[in-house]
């Protein structure tokens, strides 16, 4: 079941559907609104397919991709192969990742968050965001 608060946020995107796929860096799933997926596929379509690395990347990135919809009862049916990939056992966590939603097994999600210390996160935040000039962003 998709929580009602999230369902309200996703309402404008529900009629177009979603794409669900394996995450690249973690054993979780990524739920893309169809519009976001189409933007990403447009970028990937520009990759030169005469470069082996590009073809290998496209194949692995799109492995197991499925289109899904939230049904009238607010349920999202996750295909079994993707449940297996993410190691979903019982409870799940839906986590916002800006323009997509990550779907995690609850225990794996908590282990992932506990796996790094506050100082590790502070260092990561500085490295990733510290050089950005937020005043220059329109």
Indicate the pTM of the whole model: 0.84
Of the candidates 87, 106, 84, the residue with the CA atom closest to the CA atom of residue 95: 106
Q: How far apart are CA 79 and CA 104, in angstroms?
A: 14
- Whole-angstrom Cα distance, residue 80 to residue 82? 5
In angstroms, the CA 98 to CA 117 distance is 22
Question: Mind listing the pLDDT tens digit for each residue in 16-75?
Answer: 889 999 999 999 999 999 999 999 999 999 999 999 999 999 999 999 899 998 888 888
Note the pLDDT tens digit of each residue in 74-115. Answer: 888 999 999 999 999 999 999 988 899 999 999 999 998 887
Give dist(CA 118, CA 96) in Å, integer.
20
What are the residue ranges spanned by the domains of the chain?
4-129
Collapsed DSSP state (helix, strand, coil) of residue 3: coil
β-sheet bridge partners, residue 22: 29
Element (H, E) at 36: helix 34-44
Q: How far apart are CA 94 and CA 14, in angstroms?
A: 16
In this structure, how many other beta carbons lie within 10 angstroms of the beta carbon of residue 87? 12
- Round to whole Å and give the CA distance between 34 and 13: 8
Each residue's pLDDT tens digit, 56-72: 999 999 998 999 988 88
Q: Which CATH fold topology does 4-129 show?
A: Chemotaxis protein chec (3.40.1550)
């Amino acid at each position: 079941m998709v929580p009602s608060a999230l369902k309200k946020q996703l309402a404008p995107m529900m009629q177009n559907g979603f794409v669900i796929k394996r995450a690249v860096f973690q054993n979780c799933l990524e739920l893309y609104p169809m519009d976001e997926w189409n933007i990403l596929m447009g970028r990937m379509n520009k990759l030169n397919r005469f470069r082996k690395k590009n073809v290998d990347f496209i194949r692995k990135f799109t492995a197991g991709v499925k289109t899904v919809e939230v049904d009238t009862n607010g349920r999202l049916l996750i295909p079994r192969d993707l449940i297996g990939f993410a190691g979903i056992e019982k409870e799940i966590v839906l986590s916002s990742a800006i323009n997509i939603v990550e779907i995690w097994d609850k225990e794996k999600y908590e282990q992932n968050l506990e796996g790094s210390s506050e100082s590790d996160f502070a260092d990561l935040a500085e490295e990733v965001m510290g050089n950005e000039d937020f005043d220059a962003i329109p």
